[in-house]
Structure 1
């Protein structure tokens, strides 16, 4: 796995809707910009070798970093794979939609649910939104949120941005009724 750079973002919302957020709402993202393991090979029918060589190492690299950056227990989480223009969306999906990748984050966060994800292809500097859901129950509405990310120089055409996001809480000032009230 060739990692060109790692980007860490920590966002704290102190005020929402004109009211203080106490404690501050924290979201952290850690992204690795890697060389696409299938770049330059044309259409690759079987992606298993690239998955085996990279997915677990990426999860092991990113999971502890995002939890450390968050600095609080994880309550919501998500993931992203943004593929450069010379790759296929399937290349990013292959790396993040495997237990070899996701279990590193689930285990570190003591989570029970699947990680929500975004996958897309685009040029360097593309904006992408990482969806987050509650880490033990994806039906908890207060934790449904997205976090916008942009890495100005990534992905290059032969790269993939792989990212994990974690939040220490639900949306600031959330006020929606529980899903059970509509059933």
Structure 2
């Protein structure tokens, strides 16, 4: 894996809807900007060798960092892959939609649900939203949220931005009834 840089964002929301949030609502994101392992190779039919090499390294690198940045037990989580213009969305999907990547985060967060994801192709500096859901029950509405992030100089055309996001709580001031009330 050719890593160019790692970015860490922490957002603390102190007020929402004109009211204080207590405790403060914290969300953390860790992003790795890497060289696309399939860049310059034309259409690659078998992505597995690149997946086997890169995905576990990314999961091992990012999962503990996002949990540490959050500084609290993880209640909601998500992932992202943003591919530079010379790559395919499939390249990002290949790295994040494998247990070799995701299980590192599940273990670090004591999670059991699927990790929600965003995958897209974008120019450097493109904005993307990472969706988050509850770590053990994806039907918990209060934890359905997203966080907007960007890498000012990435992904370059031959790069991929891979990210993990974690929240210590649901949305600030969440007040929707449980999904079970509609069934």
What TM-score do the two structures reach when normalised by structure 1? 1.00
In structure 1, how many angstroms separate the alpha carbons of the residues matched to 2:174 and 2:46? 44
What is the alpha-carbon root mean square deviation over aligned residues?
A: 0.3
CA deviation profile, 1:115-156 (whole Å, cap 9, x unmatched): 000000010000000000000000000000010001110000
Alignment of 1:88-99 (within 5 A): 88-99=88-99
Aligned match of 2:109 = 109
What TM-score do the two structures reach when normalised by structure 2? 1.00
Query: Is residue 132 of structure 2 the alignment partner of residue 150 of structure 1?
Result: no
TM-fit CA distance, 1:10:
0.1
TM-fit CA distance, 1:101:
0.1
Alignment of 1:157-176 (within 5 A): 157-176=157-176
Aligned match of 1:181 = 181
For this pair of structures, how many residues does the alignment match? 183
Aligned match of 1:12 = 12
